[in-house]
Amino acid sequence: MPHSVDKVKHQADAPSDDVLEAIHAVMHRVRSLQHRAIEHLPGAPTPMDGKVLGFFARHPGATQSDLAAHSGRDKGQLARLVGGLRERGLLQAQPDAEDRRNLRLALTEEGRALQQQIQRRRRKLSELAAAGLNATEKAQLLALLGRVEANLDPAREA
């Protein structure tokens, strides 16, 4: 399959000091590489599938409402995603012991194996992205990105 050329980072009309455009270009490239890295895996998981599987790997027994609160995503979109992952045998649900209307979700063995494959590919991509940065530079980059994220906190917008 031929690789397409990603031209997002080559936008001539974006000012060179536009921080958000730079972040967008990096994330567009990351998403493109993530997609390429997982498109051949069984069931062709989407990046969002990977995020949901990762959440339940870190929070086994959490509910769909917990996922919505954590991600800030639309509940309907998450319901479709979770339903699809359950249908594919990647997530399993157990009724909550205290409130049987709530379902506690966890990865199946198949889901855990897929999530681990996705996580390994993500770590490799992270290493690629940080190649050539020494420990100090990497720490500085993480600190600066943390500050950018804090600057965009909705509480600061008021």
In the chain, which residue ranges form alpha helices assigned H by DSSP? 19-38, 47-58, 64-71, 75-87, 109-129, 135-151, 154-157
Confidence of residue 1 (pLDDT cuts 50, 70, 90): very low
Which residues touch 33 (CB under 8 Å, ≥6 apart)?
125, 128
> Which two structure tokens, joined as six digits, stand for 116?
């681990």
Q: What are the pLDDT digits (tens) for 130-144?
A: 999 999 999 999 999
pLDDT at 25 > cutoff 70: yes
Over range 32-57, report the average pLDDT. Answer: 84
Give yes or no for residue 127 having a pLDDT over 60. Answer: yes
Average pLDDT, the chain: 86
Confidence at residue 144, expressed as pLDDT on a 0 to 100 scale: 95
More confidently predicted of 70 and 37: 70
pLDDT tens digit sequence for 55-112: 999 999 999 999 999 998 989 999 999 999 999 999 999 998 888 888 999 999 999 9
Query: What is the structure's pLDDT at 110?
Result: 94
Confidence of residue 5 (pLDDT cuts 50, 70, 90): very low
Ordered structural domains, the chain, with CATH = 33-151 (1.10.10.10)
Asked if residue 82 lies in contact with residue 52, where contact means CB atoms within 8 angstroms, the answer is yes
